[in-house]
A = this chain, B = another copy of it.
């Protein structure tokens, strides 16, 4: 018979071991099983308690709740307590009223696959930390290169943390093709004075990108030592699309100033409107000026999954490098970024021998190494969940999800157009799955007031837990540029739910304009 005292003593003796079980080895799955069950229970509880797209409350209220939980959660109860809190305190993209950002609701099958990666913890920086995962990443990248229209036997690539890292890599390769920065050597520039990075205005390398390109292009230029103002913005049309004529004129002016256009960044799917730059014309101009063409298809790359939308990306196969994000139109949990180059021989900057990771005699003995492909060293196998998803649904199955979101955006934009108090930005149907619009207050047109009402109605929806709607500003200066945004990435959302969301926007606008 076990007395309470004995029980307590046994518990005390076992206490140090609590929580130290590992996820790997023959016993790993059994150790995971009760913990995973606890997580699933807490996820369900947290979602039910939230009861909507986002918890109501101001940020400091959310922070206070998290601080309290961190202060008091201890021991075996911490997992369930903190998971319930995270679930309750989420902006849940699986809720039809959470439609602000390129922030997708992951597929359950991708999340389950990601659990296997967490448990096994392969690291892609050496074969002997990831035998099967190394092969899988290589094979998946060949498949994605083929989907893009690259010759898979000539292309190369790597999984990244997302478009920001992929854009950085493309611009790094563009820079290093001209300036031998990887080795510190300076390569003579043709036709412009020899100059250091960032030095002398006349000879600085320039990057041309549309005025609606992602801010990570400027960030990359700064990180690479080129300076943010090395990025020359090319004007866009009202739908935020770069026009080929504007690019040609900007290139011409750049060269006339004695500057060196080292790279053109074409966007295939701007964050705000999904606009796709004219890729084929961009490729022709890049070839003419000897510039590297990087296509930021972090968002629009998803169109490649849909037979109907894939033609939008005509010409992407001519790019020197491409960013794709499977955590946008691919329904993967973050991160699932992909960087691809058309010709593997252009991918030299990162080639590196680390004697403890990829010694020469190991490579001679047939041990492959992905180390020289990534900016990172330790690296999770983000390819695995993508491969599982592709095999579960097929490109066709994923394409149906892309089409569903596109149709939803088309219906939503038309509903906006039809509403007397809402104003759609731009004309025609959305290119991909996002569109801009705004609430129009009663009374005479007043850009500054309209901006204030739209910005505050969005915060009202957030604070009340009713909806998560995007907010952005059109390029340019002055008032009247604030726009709301819907980014529709939940393929199970119905048109009726989008219409309900728009009614909530109008109701919040009516309240705000009276304040």
Q: Is the CB of A119 within 8 A of B91?
A: no
Partner of A93, one of B121, B131, B199: B121
Which residue of chain B has its CB nearest to the CB of A334? B380
Q: Is the CB of B58 within 8 A of A472?
A: no
Chain A 99-154 interface residues, beta-carbon cutoff 8 Å to B: 100-123, 126-136, 138-140, 143
Q: Is the CB of A22 within 8 A of B105?
A: yes
Q: Is the CB of B181 within 8 A of A117?
A: no
Q: Does A455 have its Cβ within 8 Å of any Cβ on chain B?
A: yes
Which residue of chain B has its CB nearest to the CB of A224? B225
The docked-state distance in angstroms from the alpha carbon of A246 to that of B293 is: 46
Q: Does A238 have its Cβ within 8 Å of any Cβ on chain B?
A: no
Q: Is the CB of B79 within 8 A of A388?
A: yes
Which of A104, A354, A376 counts the most B-chain CB atoms under 10 A from its CB? A376
Q: Is the CB of A95 within 8 A of B25?
A: yes
Partner of A491, one of B20, B24, B40: B20
Which of A47, A67, A131 counts the most B-chain CB atoms under 10 A from its CB? A131
Q: Does A226 have its Cβ within 8 Å of any Cβ on chain B?
A: yes
Q: Is the CB of B92 within 8 A of A25?
A: yes
Interface-located stretch among A28-36, A276-284, A339-347, A498-506: A28-36
Q: Is the CB of A63 within 8 A of B135?
A: yes
Q: Is the CB of B225 within 8 A of A133?
A: no
Q: Is the CB of A136 within 8 A of B66?
A: yes
Chain B positions within 8 Å of A181 at CB level? 198, 222-223, 225, 227
Q: Does A468 have its Cβ within 8 Å of any Cβ on chain B?
A: yes
The docked-state distance in angstroms from the alpha carbon of A226 to that of B33 is: 49
The docked-state distance in angstroms from the alpha carbon of A216 to that of B356 is: 13
Which of A88, A335, A388 counts the most B-chain CB atoms under 10 A from its CB? A388
Q: Does A59 have its Cβ within 8 Å of any Cβ on chain B?
A: yes
Name 26 A/B residue pairs within 8 A (Cβ), A-sorted. Answer: A19-B109, A19-B389, A19-B393, A20-B397, A20-B492, A21-B107, A21-B109, A23-B111, A24-B105, A25-B94, A32-B111, A35-B109, A43-B116, A59-B367, A70-B139, A70-B387, A79-B112, A87-B116, A111-B119, A115-B118, A117-B333, A163-B378, A164-B375, A182-B222, A185-B227, A219-B375
Q: Is the CB of A132 within 8 A of B32?
A: no
Partner of A333, one of B118, B225, B394: B118
Interface-located stretch among A250-258, A357-365, A405-413: A357-365
The docked-state distance in angstroms from the alpha carbon of A459 to that of B216 is: 42
The docked-state distance in angstroms from the alpha carbon of A473 to that of B360 is: 12
Q: Is the CB of A116 within 8 A of B196?
A: no
Q: Is the CB of A43 within 8 A of B28?
A: yes
Partner of A184, one of B73, B172, B222: B222
Which residue of chain B has its CB nearest to the CB of A391? B78
Chain B positions within 8 Å of A470 at CB level? 356
Shortest CB distance A348–B (Å): 12
Q: Does A309 have its Cβ within 8 Å of any Cβ on chain B?
A: no
Q: Does A439 have its Cβ within 8 Å of any Cβ on chain B?
A: no
Q: Does A471 have its Cβ within 8 Å of any Cβ on chain B?
A: yes
Known contacts being A112-B36, A121-B334, A184-B229, is A91 close to B24, with CB within 8 Å?
A: no
The docked-state distance in angstroms from the alpha carbon of A101 to that of B492 is: 44
Q: Is the CB of A82 within 8 A of B384?
A: yes
Shortest CB distance A370–B (Å): 12
Known contacts being A19-B109, A196-B195, A271-B356, is A182 close to B228, with CB within 8 Å?
A: yes
The docked-state distance in angstroms from the alpha carbon of A328 to that of B327 is: 26
The docked-state distance in angstroms from the alpha carbon of A36 to that of B41 is: 13
Shortest CB distance A33–B (Å): 6
Q: Is the CB of A198 within 8 A of B225?
A: yes
Q: Is the CB of B132 within 8 A of A85?
A: yes
Contact with B along A154-167 (1 / 0, CB 8 A): 00000001111100
The docked-state distance in angstroms from the alpha carbon of A135 to that of B182 is: 38
Q: Is the CB of A16 within 8 A of B356?
A: no
The docked-state distance in angstroms from the alpha carbon of A164 to that of B110 is: 27
11 A-B pairs besides A31-B108, A35-B108 with CB distance below 8 A are A28-B43, A35-B111, A82-B113, A86-B117, A114-B118, A128-B468, A185-B227, A225-B226, A325-B378, A356-B470, A367-B459
Shortest CB distance A391–B (Å): 4
Q: Is the CB of B109 within 8 A of A129?
A: no
Q: Is the CB of B90 within 8 A of A131?
A: yes
Known contacts being A29-B47, A79-B113, A116-B43, is A223 close to B375, with CB within 8 Å?
A: yes
Q: Does A401 have its Cβ within 8 Å of any Cβ on chain B?
A: yes
Q: Is the CB of A132 within 8 A of B183?
A: no
Partner of A132, one of B90, B118, B226, B331: B90
